[in-house]
Amino acid sequence: MTPFRAAAVLVALAGLACGPAGTSGEPAAPAQPRTTAAPVPAEAPQPRAIPTIPSSPGLHRVRQVIDGDTLTVAGIGTIRLIGVDAPEKQGGFREAEPYGDQATAYLKTLADGQLVRVEYDGERTDRFNRTLAYVFLEDGTLVNEAVIRAGWAEHYRRFEYRRKDDFRRAEREARQARRGMWGR
């Protein structure tokens, strides 16, 4: 051991034997660990988490819009909008159709991230195991009908469903007003 290091050890031992300077034999307070972080106030604000569970019973959050007539909803899974036949988008499983990307974009602006209520009619799933449903926004807007009324989808003609007459009228109105794909 070098003379300098030996002297440092002796000074440290002497300090321990004598106790801290300026005390009257009382034990020293325990040493506090050194930290580089600033002390946290007792009432530190907590970060706000995005709720994953809706505040109202029966509401579910739209997680993703897949295309103009399909979306995923928390707690349910993939939903195919009953009565809506939107053109296929680019990059789907089938060949892209004109206005498919616009139909998808419209549904995204309408429903993506929104809380929705789901209503069923007849068969609960299709051959791809998607849930068949009507989807309502919190304000009561029926998403299925809104896509048709905006001109980005046709009403589905092949199957029977409760709101078929309403959807047929919405499509006729969109065609007459030349909205969406009908105005091109």
Residue 150 per-residue DSSP state: T
99 and 152 Cβ atoms separated by less than 8 Å: yes
Helix segments in 19-140, DSSP class H? 100-111
Catalytic residue set: 80, 88, 130
Look at phi and psi of residue 80 and say left if phi exceeds 0, alpha if psi is from -120 to 50, else beta: beta
Backbone φ and ψ for 84, nearest 5 degrees, come out as -115, 130
Q: Which residues pair with 115 in a beta bridge?
A: 61
39 class by beta-carbon count within 10 Å (0-12 exposed, 13-18 middle, 19+ buried): exposed
CB 147 within 8 A of CB 153: yes
User: Structure tokens of 92?
Assistant: 């789907």
Region of 180 on the Ramachandran plot (φ > 0 left; ψ -120 to 50 alpha; else beta): left
